[in-house]
Amino acid sequence: MDNLQPYKPRPVLSLPRAESSGWHLKRYAILADGKLFDDAVATAAKEEAFRRLPEAGSLHDESGNHGVAFQIVHFAEVAVVSPVFYWQWGSVLAHIDQMRASWDAPTHFGDGVKEVVGCIWEMNIVQFELEAWATQLLNGRKSTEDGLRVYLQQQATSEAIHT
């Protein structure tokens, strides 16, 4: 694989939102060339994310997280990687250590490279989520609960992030 190959968009799938232990988790999948979506892998990634996320806070908690996160399950060339990001302190995006599963055992997530935040395809979704959070929660025009409801309904699509 040439690490400086020309960039081309990858398909992005919006997955059903999940809730567990006070967390609202928006979910996405990205498919590299030749990779197919696998629900068992996405489910394993979701379950591992819920195990790794810190205790959920409240949307009104000024000193901790807000119990709102998003996950990307990237069916990449060399492995399945799954960054998970969560909101805290109103306008700060935090993340858990990268989760990674080899293609030999794609439902068994271990740790990836700690320093990695995400690849260019994943950052397209992060940008969408940043804009959605700012527009819906930090605009001052809606109640916090209304803003959260709209934010949770917004999902990145291939068309939205590749235009």
Q: What is the three-state SS of 72-135?
A: EEEECCCEEEECEEEEECCCEEEECCCEEEECCCCCCCEECCCCCCCCHHHHHHHHHHHHHHHH
pTM for the predicted model, two decimal places: 0.94
The arithmetic mean of pLDDT across residues 127-139, rounded, is: 95
Q: What is the pLDDT of residues 138-156, one digit of tens each?
A: 988 878 899 999 999 999 9
